[in-house]
Structure 1
């Protein structure tokens, strides 16, 4: 009799305007969404979590802003990892971020990367061709949904299918209003092509989460216009329904293991 594991490990390597990187992995394989911090920092933080870079089969890039793509070239070229991004994102990204080999997908495509079925879908953000992702593996569905100005039908439809989601909770509306940003930047942040506020993120979960959703990582929390405690407070009335965890721009989050362990008889 042998124990077969069907556990999926999920965590944020980094999350914030200074860099984003999200990890989804099984016992043998993994993918990353975004590589917005340096390869050195990705390696350092993965080592802290005892995650093996050799398991990473692919990196999927959501859009061309440097906090999502900065470490892509060095990470992929040094470790032989496949890079996936849209043609428009690749063309718009700074040449310094281009890996030697890049695989191109389109919004609406489903990409098979090892055991992972990655669904890419268009979202509203001020980038040339922004996408979010829902990753299926071992019967689980994990969403990475940040940099969303307004929750379009794509976001809503994919959120309903998630067991775990990295959900943007970028700003507190009052802090943004009273904060140091110039007027034009405040307008950009709260526009339909900017970011989700704490309130908007809560409303999205209240209205649309599927019955399988168990864990929400509060993600891309602004250093200037939000506080972790404010984001957590906004969600506190949902604590009995979900495990709600903050992410960090300077350190990895805790690892959440989702799925089941099953016994298998071998004769």
Structure 2
């Protein structure tokens, strides 16, 4: 059974990732407006009618900004931990909230979604693995460092959204104040290019088809730089840089071309 994935937006201005099969799909985070989510999915030929749930990684506004309108308009359940919900600063009246626990799979039709903990400066941060019978897709963003949970899940993935937030030299020379630089690189902030590359080069499984580099900093990274860096170590894995301004194409795991099982 196929799985289709796309980044609808990725960056500090909003994060939203789509993973689905031919019947149902989920969104991991909803940090862009309902209108933008709808527009970008429409351009990709994706239907909101297939989206059955939103899974929330943590309470920062670039991950939850669009939830209230989107979930209400489409009657979507919002899977969120009670601690994260308590920490949200948005008005979430009349929405259906469902708690989840780390490593307890949630079944959404034929999709299984499993949360796992991570290091980030939020109240109760989690990342997610979305899978069917054949494929696993991981969302690895907003991570301070690659802990055991992250490593163990990453080495099982057929495709992954992996944070490569900043280049260390660009951050050091950049305009950010000292306290913000320390927050970003301090172990509960974001993954640098070097940290993400070490995870990729060391733990990438042979069957990983696509890597979507995600949550790049506008000021402290360069898409061309990071793509070149990862492509050097990619072997058969295609590397895509997810944009903070537009959606990526849809990539489908399980699509057959020239008698090979691959992702295009």
* TM-score, normalised via structure 2 length: 0.94
Equivalent-residue separation in structure 2 for 1:99 and 1:128 (angstroms): 23
Over 4 Å off, 4+ runs? none
Distance in structure 2 (CA, Å) of the matches to 1:201 and 1:99: 39
1:87-98 aligned at under 5 Å gives the runs: 87-97=82-92
1:224 matched to 2:219? The reply is: yes
Partner-residue secondary structure (3-state), 2:99: strand
SS at match of 1:176: helix
Asked if structure 2 preserves the Cα contact closer than 8 Å seen for 1:8 and 1:138, the reply is no
Greater shift after overlay, 168-177 or 98-107?
A: 98-107
Q: How does 1:8-87 map to 2 (within 5 A)?
A: 8-87=3-82
Q: In structure 1, what is the equivalent of residue 207 of structure 2?
A: 212
Question: Does the CA-based 8 Å contact 2:79-2:98 persist in structure 1?
Answer: yes
Alignment counterpart, residue 150 of structure 2, candidates 144, 147, 155: 155
Looking at structure 1, the residues matched to 93 and 212 of structure 2 have their Cα atoms a distance apart, in angstroms, of 29
Matches within 5 A, 1:177-192: 177-192=172-187
Offset at residue 146 of structure 1 (A) = 0.1
**Other structure's SS at 2:37 match:** helix
1:247 matched to 2:242? The reply is yes
Shift of the 67–243 alpha-carbon distance from structure 1 to 2, 3 Å rule, reads same
- Which of residues 227, 235, 239 is equivalent to 2:230? 235
For the 8 Å contact 2:77–2:95, the answer to whether it is kept is no
Q: Residues of 1 paired with 2:225 and 2:12: CA distance?
A: 17
Q: Distance in 1 between matches of 2:78 and 2:248?
A: 23
**Equivalent position of 1:196 in the other structure:** 191
Whether 2:116 is the aligned partner of 1:111: answer no
Summarize the Cα distance change of 1:128–1:99 in structure 2 as closer, same or farther, 3 Å threshold. Answer: farther
How far 1:240 moved relative to its partner? 2.8
Q: Pairwise CA RMSD of aligned residues?
A: 1.4
Decide which structure has greater strand share. 1
Deviation at 1:7?
2.0
Partner residue of 2:116? 121
Q: State how many pairs are aligned.
A: 257
Distance 1:26 1:221, change over 3 A: same
- The alpha carbon displacement at 1:211 in A equals 2.6
Distance 1:9 1:99, change over 3 A: farther
Higher relative contact order (CA 8 A, sep 6+): 1
- Return the offset for 1:81: 1.2
Unmatched 5+ stretches in structure 2: 260-264
